[in-house]
Amino acid sequence: MAQHPTANDNETKPQPDDAIAMFTADHRQVQALFQQYADTSDPYLKQIIAEHVFAELTLHMLLEESVFYPAVAEQVDEEGKRLVREALQDHQQLRELIESLQDVEEDAAFEIRFDALRDHVEQHVEDEETTLYPQAAEVLATHLEEITLLLQERKEQILAS
């Protein structure tokens, strides 16, 4: 049987050493959670995994929006600024999907919306990793260490609250 990362795996792994690697690791963690959700038939476990997905996505979006995207937007050209705006719009749509999922009582309806969330996340991840992150790596190269430290501090603050 294939081993999938569990909810606590990211607590024992060392933190990636730069902001883009950190966000990419977050993407892989959420993808693993979506796979765990798909692999189980236990409704109680599905609910726990879904809540973990919501928490991981919310933290990830907050970190990107509060530190990373502003830093990127400050350094990129108009095309890069457009990518940041699109990413922010994606985040708003993801928040709305998460919020709507938290109000769904019926399992079948939840499954349909959760699949929509997964699809939206997969598209967003692909867009970020193929267009936004490469531009960010280029324009933030001299500031990446500082941004990474800010992100790690912000993440600790959020998790402590």
Q: What is the pLDDT of residue 120?
A: 97
Contact 83, 102 (CB under 8 A): no
The pLDDT confidence band at residue 14, using thresholds 50, 70 and 90, is low
pLDDT at residue 3 is higher than 60 = no
pLDDT at residue 6 is higher than 60 = no
Helix extents (H) in the chain: 9-12, 19-39, 43-63, 69-75, 78-102, 107-127, 133-139, 144-160
The pLDDT confidence band at residue 15, using thresholds 50, 70 and 90, is low
Residue 89 CB neighbours (<10 A): 11
Residue 141: helix, strand or coil by DSSP? coil
**90-143 pLDDT, tens digit each:** 999 999 999 999 989 898 999 999 999 999 999 999 999 999 999 999 999 999
**30-67 pLDDT, tens digit each:** 999 999 999 999 999 999 999 999 999 999 999 999 99
Extents of the domains making up the chain: 18-160
